[in-house]
Amino acid sequence: MNILKVSDIISGYTDLDILHGISIHIKPGEIISIIGPNGSGKSTLMKTIFGLLRIRSGEIIFNGDNITGIQPEAIVRKGMGYVPQEKEFFPSLTALENLEMGAFIRNNDISSSLERVYDVFPALKEKQRIKAGSMSGGEQRMVGIGRALMLSPDLLLLDEPSAGLSPVMRDMVFGKLTEINESGTSILIVEQNAKRSLKISDRGYVLEMGRNRFEGPGEELLENEDVLRLYLGG
């Protein structure tokens, strides 16, 4: 059984189609990477899955429910979290306030959710009263991911989680994603740092010009001569 199945999706912006029949699936507990050159439709696919772009054709099934065309808030309520590449936090709010915003649909005590996030990112507990806008890039990334974890999603979507980070912070982020996955959350990653992302992934998809080009286990894609030559600089 799949936690997410995306079938023959066509979508884009205004009258321009960016995705031309893309299909992917994710099984419970998997980490899946979406890689490909700039303009291949990676971020567009993420936004389409999360309901931020209108689907012209195709179907999205999540946790057994057809979520094709429904609004992001309804998708969140069904158990999906999303961390965009930009605007992943509110800079004028503290780290704690940002995390609290992540639990906006709950009206009960969120202390246990906060503690789970602090277990993953102890630095956020230490700096919970500091405004997110004054934090380092790595700390801001923790805030964005932590905010998405506040509702304990079944599936977490991340768009370029390592973008703009130092090598040390990139290693930290990928390590934390593995930790989050081991706690039971399936993960879908769009990532330019393809080699690093595929190393932690069960499977990967390579997109090109809005279409599926390659698919397979992460380690196999890392060893595929065509993928290495065309997309990984090998």
Residue 234: the pLDDT is 55
- The pLDDT tens digits for 162-200 are 999 999 999 999 999 999 999 999 999 999 899 999 999
Instruction: Quickly state the pLDDT bin for 106 (edges 50, 70, 90).
Output: confident
The C-alpha angle 152, 96, 154, rounded to 5 degrees, equals: 10
Q: What percent of the chain has pLDDT over 70?
A: 99
How many Å apart are CA 218 and CA 91, to the nearest integer? 35
> In 78-193, where does DSSP find H-type helix?
95-102, 111-120, 122-126, 137-149, 167-182
Considering only CA atoms, which of 46, 230, 81, 229 is closest in space to residue 155?
81
Q: What is the mean pLDDT of residues 103-113?
A: 85
Residue 231: the pLDDT is 82
How many Å apart are CA 188 and CA 202, to the nearest integer? 11
* Strand 186-190 relative to strand 16-26, pairing: unpaired
pTM for the model:
0.94
Statement: 1-79+155-164+187-234 belongs to CATH 3.40.190.10:
no
Q: Supply φ then ψ for residue 4, to 5 degrees.
A: -140, 135
- The pLDDT tens digits for 7-27 are 999 999 988 999 999 999 999
* Spans of all domains in the chain: 1-79+155-164+187-234, 85-152
